[in-house]
Structure 1
Amino acid sequence: MTTGRIHSWDLSTGVDGPGTRFVLFVSGCPLRCLYCANPDTWHMRDGKETTVDEVMAEIEKYRPFVTAAGGGVTVTGGEPLLQPAFTGALLRRCKEAGLHTALDTSGFLGARATGELLADTDLVLLDIKTFDIAAYRELTGGALAPTLNFATRLDRLGIPVWIRYVLVPGRNDAPEPIDGLARFLSGLGNVDRVDVLPFHKLGAPKYEALGIPFPLRDTPVPDAALTERVRGQFRDCGLSAY
């Protein structure tokens, strides 16, 4: 029986895939993004051990509502590909149940996604933090190349992708890297949309509760003009940006 460690689940509409979604937050993440809103999901040890059967039993309670709203199931985190066996088994069960599936990932561990796992994935929500290699490392503590390689692999497989771009003033708002990312994405044939998500501080109380300094405490949130400028840069390359 396949087990994994999860943090929680929630219902969401619009941002975690089409329709109303059952969103499962798994535990554990290899990155430490400065703007992370879920620091309570960083460590596997803090999650609750559960089985795929137990998660599916919870999903079944909401299936009529979710399917009527044109939704499905999204696996997020943390980082779902830190637990590829659990994530893959869950996606398989969801597909067998006729549910639309979405995988929300940084792509940093994209090499761990097996062909079987991706075959059971209807949509990938791919977080690309920046196209600047040095800025990416500063923002996340990791390398950019694995994410770009994963994006290219998803294109080869024809798996639809929604790009998530969290806009942080002074960190990833410079025009040139955004243009570079837009050109890269426009060269792929599977990017359905780009969501430019303004940085926010709603996760700050979690840092305080955990006794962890919030790295971007003094960073301003982007204003409407900046957000629209960045969306316009993606649109200028023929991408649908929101």
Structure 2
Amino acid sequence: MSQPEMMLPDLPPRRSLPPDVRKRLRRRVLGRRLPAGRVPSGGVPSGGAARAPLAAAAAVVVLAAGGTIVAQSTQGDPDAVTPPSTAQSTAVSSSPGDSPVTSLTPGATGGEAERCGFGGGDVRFTLGLAGRRILVTRNGRFCEFTHTTVAHDRPQRRSPGLDAAHVVLAGTVDAARVGGVEITDRQGRTVSAVLRDGTFAARLPDQPPLTSNTVAEGFRVRVLDHDNQPIETVTLD
């Protein structure tokens, strides 16, 4: 029995994807598991089974000597985020000379989320600071509150210039696949992030002057599996 002839429309000449489109697609592609120690070029798995483990958004909080805060969220693939677990505090600073960030807590308590007008599941993590806390939501919103005030503005619009800033970069990864996160700053210095229950934070002191528009630009996030093998490397922009 003969098959009907398939008619194809006239198609334009084949051409390569623009670099920015290719980059977005690579962030979303589902990847097969490779043998330990093997990672494709670019550090992004390819093929068929596991989601890219990097957080959908990495929240960057810049802390200046005078207490000014600039915060910015770099958006990505929302399907790559693992929901935060029950709240557990992870110490980020242990001495007076360190950054004033005192804790990193996955999610938020119901009372804190309610004070900020968020649902309990909206908050990805909470940064504890000296005398205040910042809640970071899944869609890049921020809420800063103290014992007496609540601020719903977007902190990244404050203070266009900062000197001698501390940068705390925090986000969420797939805890089942990720065993470590390393952050490299624009000067090439690398630090290991604190990682607990899929939420990470890294303190990078003595950063050059930053602006609210480029606060996250140039930082490199390297994600490692539980055998300390690289899974993915992404440069924030």
The normalised TM-score by structure 1 is 0.26
Whichever of the two has the greater Rg, that structure is: 2
The normalised TM-score by structure 2 is 0.26
The answer to which structure has the higher helix fraction is 1
Bigger RCO of structures 1 and 2 (CA < 8 A, at least 6 apart): 2
